[in-house]
Structure 1
């Protein structure tokens, strides 16, 4: 019997719209791709989410990925408001599941800077029952330790949880931890998948 829903944030409860964010700064397709390779598509972005390094140290890693973009990276990442997109369904969906008696937790790779500067697009967070944000616990998915931590912190039985994430690698890691899990595509698909686990 499922008692706890565990959800990723980016592209599940709020859109991670880095492409639109870079495009809105007036960059060409080619520049958007270069910026993405230096930042969101690089291993350094995972360190951004892990929260161990300072924002200056992370920015230096982005610059090291493409030194020609130094000025653009400084300018573009000075404030990242707009890199997340508010999903209107998030709060009603969380409230609906909680009203049916389910505990609702988040488990997400998230940087302190995005959390701080995109707070208005993350307005569902006060409605959840807790969870883990990577920048606070210095662990990132798909590290096995982050799944162990959420299970122990909230005294959860893995077989009584279902986890949804838009990245297969993270879903597979949850399954290895004994947690029921599926790849999130959209809200309607997720509701259907939750039903297969007995969540109405």
Structure 2
């Protein structure tokens, strides 16, 4: 059995917090409005088009306002400052630093918008610790579509049996498993450390 040499991280809710409900509740004191905005903005097709890199944030706002004209000001406000909800999950960033100092190769495989990804890359210096980054908008493909795993393996010259992938989505882990990549279903910092210690020992 091959030894794990490469650790692949998702971003959202693994290395950076992504809690849109909390963000919306900080803006609007109306549970029904928050629910409508969550469904329209964060669960609608435009969000996935942003992840796929086929529209810009400005185009997404324009499309959403056309669909929900009664929410025009709320949609504009929601998009105005949402990048700032992307805060590091500090214990997991420390795991990244520890793995790097132990000699592991580190990668990111994530569904993410262009502008948001550029924002966090510029803001957080620990992105320099990664040996490779495969982000959905760069390739117009999303996890768990097979092509994104093929791109990761080919562009980073990885052997699947030497990799472990950490993601909070079982569907994304199942997609990786189809290529022979081991997975850790992320649930908490303590659980992540325990499972990594077991797999890497």
Q: Same fold (TM over 0.5)?
A: yes
Matched positions, count:
199
Report how far residue 162 of structure 1 moved: 0.4
Structure 1, residues 50-104: CA drift from partner, whole Å, max 9, x if none? Answer: 1121223222343355342122101221232322122222432112111222101
The RMSD of aligned alpha carbons is: 1.9
Structure 1, residues 93-139: CA drift from partner, whole Å, max 9, x if none? Answer: 11211122210101111112222445576443122222211122222
For 2:172 and 2:67, the matched residues in 1 are separated by 25
Report how far residue 24 of structure 1 moved: 1.5
SS at match of 1:10: coil
SS at match of 1:20: helix
For 1:151 and 1:174, the matched residues in 2 are separated by 10
The 1:143–1:61 alpha-carbon spacing in structure 2 relative to 1, beyond 3 Å, is farther
Structure 1, residues 160-189: CA drift from partner, whole Å, max 9, x if none? Answer: 100010011111111112111121001211
1:33-112 equivalences in 2 (<5 Å): 33-63=35-65, 66-112=68-114
For 1:86 and 1:195, the matched residues in 2 are separated by 22
TM-score for the superposition, normalised by structure 1: 0.90
8 Å contact from structure 1 (residues 9, 108) kept in 2 = yes
Unaligned runs of 5+ in 1: none
Structure 1, residues 4-32: CA drift from partner, whole Å, max 9, x if none? Answer: 00010011011112112111113322111
Unaligned runs of 5+ in 2: none
TM-score for the superposition, normalised by structure 2: 0.90
